[in-house]
Amino acid sequence: MVNNNSTIDAVRDTAENLYQLLGLMFSQFKEMEPGQTESLIGLSFELASQISSWANAEEKRRNG
């Protein structure tokens, strides 16, 4: 889980996980059940939110 104090390596790994998850969803969306699709979209939003929050905090740290 990425938080505002995570390292760039943790954020990179989370971004890679998000990329892989979205790739899997894209390639398999026709075979997935609606509930599965909904859960995976929720997970994707959570991962994206963690990355975005970290980026915002990092920008504040760098720019004061």
Q: How many residues in total does the chain contain?
A: 64
CA proximity to 10, closest of 45, 40, 53, 39: 53
User: Per residue in 15-58, pLDDT tens?
Assistant: 999 999 999 999 999 999 999 999 999 999 999 999 999 999 99
pTM: 0.89
Q: Calculate Rg over the CA atoms of the chain.
A: 14
Please name the residue that has the structure tokens 């004061």: 64
pLDDT at 29: 92
Contact 44, 25 (CB under 8 A): yes
Task: Please state, as a whole number, how many other Cβ atoms lie within 10 Å of the Cβ of residue 36.
Answer: 13
